[in-house]
């Protein structure tokens, strides 16, 4: 009976393929299940691509945030050159608290 089971069905769904082959649905159901197997492989490929791309996007946003923070600190340092940097941040935090 195992000879009636297509390779993709036998690999992905051995028990279901064996049961369906024993009922005589080998060729039609085998084609259907191999099509489902191809779709599943596409979704798995998309999932693995997502697993690779999500950390890349997170890291790029982290780098973008770091660049923005460094730019912000540089603008503050240039705008108020006579004050110490800690005093500048204290004034900014007080301004934010007063605003909210």
Report the C-alpha gap between 12 and 20 in whole angstroms: 14
pLDDT band at 29 (very low <50, low <70, confident <90, very high): low
**Residue 49, helix vs strand vs coil:** helix
Domains contained in the chain, number: 1
Q: What is the reported pLDDT for 91?
A: 75
Cβ atoms within 10 Å of 31's Cβ, excluding its own: 13
Cβ atoms within 10 Å of 5's Cβ, excluding its own: 23
Report the C-alpha gap between 30 and 4 in whole angstroms: 9
Q: Residue 15 above 60 pLDDT?
A: no
Span 57-85, pLDDT tens digits: 888 888 888 888 888 888 877 776 666 66
Q: Residue 86 above 80 pLDDT?
A: no
* Whole-prediction pTM: 0.35
Per the structure, the complete domain to which residue 69 belongs is given by 2-99
Q: What is the reported pLDDT for 9?
A: 46
């Amino acid at each position: 009976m195992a000879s009636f089971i297509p390779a993709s069905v036998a690999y992905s769904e051995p028990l279901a393929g064996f049961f369906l082959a024993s009922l005589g649905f080998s060729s039609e159901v085998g084609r259907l299940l191999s099509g489902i197997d191809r779709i599943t492989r596409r979704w798995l490929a998309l999932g693995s691509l997502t697993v690779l791309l999500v950390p890349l996007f997170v890291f790029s946003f982290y780098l973008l945030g770091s660049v923005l923070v460094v730019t912000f600190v540089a603008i503050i340092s240039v705008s108020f050159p006579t004050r110490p940097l800690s005093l500048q941040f204290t004034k900014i935090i007080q301004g934010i608290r007063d605003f909210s």
